[in-house]
Amino acid sequence: MRFTLREVEAAARERLDPVHYDYFAGGAGDEVTLRANEAAFERLALLPHVLRGTAKPELGVTLLGGRASMPVLIAPTAFHRLADPEGERATARAAAAAETIMMVSMASTVAVGDVAAAAPGARLWFQLFIQPDMAFTEALVRRAEAAGCGALVVTADSPVFGTRGRDERNGFRDLPDGLCCENMRDGDRVREIAFSPAVSWEHLDRLREITSLPVVLKGVLHPADARAALDHGVSALFVSNHGGRQLDTAPAAVDALPEIVDAVGGAVPVLLDGGVRRGTDVLKALALGADAVAVGRPVVWGLAADGERGARRVLGLLRAEVEEALTLCGLASVRDLEPGMVRRPW
Ligand code: FNR
């Protein structure tokens, strides 16, 4: 039995090909942002209340019209079949069992329609890198709609694919034979995902014209961009530095959160990912104004350690930790968290 997310990671590391472990674990540049994501949570202190006379706390949240049984979602990560033969199918079943939302990566190794078919009842959102070829972007959107996805998570922090030193040194470039980005099938070929600096707010506007799905904008760190995103009609903002895999030395996600929350002023929900490894991290992000958080690597570690069961274990550990931390903070609900409960020791 594994009792912490760190133990799950250790188990995953033992089972994974070291090159694939590095692909999942690594970050861009000197991995300053990668380390900062977790360190920033550790530097924050939680200030509990006492004698509140509460009952078992309520963990559920409603996001974009859908309910999640806890404020912990699954961030979009690529290539789950490198971690487990069932890949994203197993992840989606774990998400369904936990009654939480899974964001299916555009770079998934199971097509989004097959992910949905494998996990009836799973709440899926589809993550999209807008392709400069808008006709193909539209084809992807139609696949996500047909699969029943409830939102599009548009990742905006990747005008180029960040250089990750571990992958360069390991020579990791392509998926092994037999695996591919299944969503990128186009007739009898599989397209490469295009990362383009030419993608702009105009593309986002066009995307909103071709679909009625709500758009979650992922990778926003600058408050001015959060305000612009509201002007362009996004339905939610997702504070993220891509788990430290894109611009190195970008701020830790939780450090960037308060300014974004301020800029948004409650107009739309705010999500956060990056470095969430404990229930107390979830409480800190929610206290600082996030409506929910997401975890990327921990779910991959669960999958690699023990397939669907491992992913379920990760979500179960986080749920139990959130519940205990809320109780210890004297709170009846995740909604009762507020900024005064988080202290910076400086
Ligand atoms: C990612 N991330 C990511 N994001 C995205 O929008 N599309 C993607 O395909 C991927 N792929 C991906 C692969 C791997 C291996 C990792 C680790 C991350 C970023 C992901 O959604 C999320 O922002 C981070 O993983 C959050 O940080 P933690 O929870 O891993 O610390």
Token couple for 72? 């912990």
Task: Tell me the C-alpha distance between 21 and 82, whole Å.
Answer: 9
Measured in angstroms, how far is the CA atom of residue 48 from the centroid of ligand 1? Answer: 31
At residue 345, the pLDDT reads 72
Expressed in angstroms and rounded, the spacing between residue 58 Cα and the centre of ligand 1 is 28
Q: Mean pLDDT throughout 222-245? A: 98
Report the alpha-carbon distance of residue 69 to residue 261 in Å, rounded: 23
Any residues with CB less than 8 A from the CB of 227 and at least 6 apart, and which?
Answer: 263
Does the beta carbon of 80 sit less than 6 angstroms from any atom of ligand 1?
no
- Name the active-site residue from 20, 80, 203, 242: 242
Give the mean model confidence (pLDDT) for residues 142-157: 98
Give the pLDDT confidence of 53-76 residue by residue, as tens digits: 999 999 999 999 999 999 999 999
Percent pLDDT > 70 in the chain is 100
The answer to whether 27 and 164 have CB atoms below 8 angstroms apart is yes
| Residue 332 scores a pLDDT above 70 | yes
> Would you say 41 and 281 are in contact if contact means Cβ atoms under 8 Å apart?
yes
Taking alpha carbons only, the member of 195, 194, 198, 207 closest to residue 234 is 207
Ligand 1 center–CA 327 separation, angstroms: 30
Which pLDDT belongs to residue 344?
84
Strand 342-343 versus strand 45-46 pairing type? antiparallel
Binding residues for FMN: 76-78, 105, 127, 155, 218, 240, 273-277, 296-297
**Residue list for the binding site for glyoxylate:** 23, 164, 242, 245
Q: Is the CB of 277 under 6 A from ligand 1?
A: no
**pLDDT tier for residue 346 given thresholds of 50, 70 and 90:** low
Q: 91 with 102: CB under 8 angstroms?
A: yes
Domains contained in the chain, CATH given? 5-336 (3.20.20.70)
Could you confirm whether 242 is annotated as catalytic? yes
| Cα(221) to centroid(ligand 1), Å | 15
**What is the pairing mode between strands 45-46 and 61-63?**
unpaired
Q: Is residue 334 predicted with pLDDT exceeding 70?
A: yes
Pocket lining: 41 vs ligand 1, CB cutoff 6 Å: no
- Whole-model pTM over 0.95: yes
